Amino acid sequence: MLSLPSLFQAGALVLSFAASLSQGASTDVVGTWSTGSGAVLTGTAFGNPVNNTFDYPPVAGYSYSFTEDGWYEEASFTWTSNATDHHCIQANIIWQHGTYKVNANGTITTDSTMFAGDGRVQVQNACAAQSSAIYYYQENNLFATWAVSTWRGKTMLRLGSYDGSLLPRMYKISDTPRDYMFDSLYLSNHTDSSTTRRR
């Protein structure tokens, strides 16, 4: 476990949002989804955004959870290798949550602006002056297509990017959406909703 308790430790807030979000959800996508063997999962297994401790999963992948009443959570772990120096691998952890909608035109939109202070990206780069850093992260997404189907005996969710490309398959891990917390704002009192460095 990588622990960065010195960052963001002050001012943890838990504010509940009592919003009713029943419109625009779809029971087809409700549950917990993950790529590959399910090494990357939303929820507490991924870490604790309140004190910025994220567990690095054994393999790269991403995970989404969607609730029936319109909340979602997202977790991803990716590697980027450096073409110039193959030892300089960069690892990225992303976590955010918010609301989602299955739109009438066949798209899915996710919106994390209401929890803009919560999202995190943690970057580890063995060759950077600062080998590990954590930043605010908030990004809304538009998935141009989505399809739930059966693939090799598993229930699969295939999301399509706005540019037409298909994202790696996710399989249903559980009918129960797994979250750290869907409908609460945890953390900071900051006004900049873009990805911002804070040290």
Residues that bind ligand NAG (CB under 6 A): 3, 5, 48, 51, 53, 82, 84-85, 88, 90, 103, 105, 107, 109, 125, 127, 142, 189
Nearer to ligand NAG, 171 or 179 (CB): 179
Sole residue written with tokens 């995970």: 63
**Shortest reach from residue 104's CB to ligand NAG, in Å:** 7
**Shortest reach from residue 115's CB to ligand NAG, in Å:** 14
Nearer to ligand NAG, 125 or 193 (CB): 125
Q: How far apart are CA 196 and CA 92, in angstroms?
A: 15
Nearer to ligand NAG, 14 or 19 (CB): 14
**Shortest reach from residue 91's CB to ligand NAG, in Å:** 11
Q: How far apart are CA 153 and CA 179, in angstroms?
A: 25
**Shortest reach from residue 88's CB to ligand NAG, in Å:** 4
Partners of 59 in beta bridges: none
Asked whether the beta carbons of 110 and 98 are under 8 A apart, the reply is: yes
Nearer to ligand NAG, 78 or 103 (CB): 103
Strands (E), 19-168: 31-34, 47-48, 53-54, 61-66, 71-80, 90-102, 108-111, 120-125, 132-136, 141-143, 145-151, 154-160
